[in-house]
């Protein structure tokens, strides 16, 4: 398994502002995310490997260095 740059992944995740499940289940968005990751890090990776890493980071949780919770707006409630 490749070593991913988790700092870059967390930053991109916040920028894309798409929930992890939605991101990994949409091949178009996931491919764009993987291409962007490669451009930022120079580390070529397959979208499926990146999806696996994103899910692992989501499971880890923000407090333990995983993906942060997205602060989404829902019709002015947040």
Count CB-CB contacts under 10 A for residue 57. Answer: 21
Q: By the 8 A CB rule, do 17 and 70 touch?
A: yes
pTM of the model: 0.83
pLDDT tier at 8 (50, 70, 90 boundaries)?
A: very high
pLDDT digits (tens, 9 = 90+) for 24-70: 999 999 999 999 999 999 999 999 999 999 999 999 988 888 888 88
The yes-or-no verdict on residue 13 having pLDDT over 60 is yes
Q: Which residue ranges make up each domain of the chain? A: 6-62
Q: What is the pLDDT of residue 23?
A: 95
CA torsion 51-46-30-12 (nearest 10°) is 80
Degrees to nearest 5, angle at CA 46 with 20 and 24 = 20
pLDDT tier at 74 (50, 70, 90 boundaries)?
A: low
């Amino acid at each position: 398994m490749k070593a991913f740059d988790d700092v870059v992944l967390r930053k991109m995740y916040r920028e894309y502002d798409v929930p992890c499940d939605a991101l990994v289940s949409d091949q178009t968005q996931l491919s764009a995310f993987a291409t962007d990751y490669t451009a930022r890090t120079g580390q070529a990776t397959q979208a499926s490997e990146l999806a696996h890493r994103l899910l692992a980071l989501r499971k880890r949780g923000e407090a333990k260095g995983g993906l942060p919770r997205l602060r989404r707006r829902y019709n002015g409630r947040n």
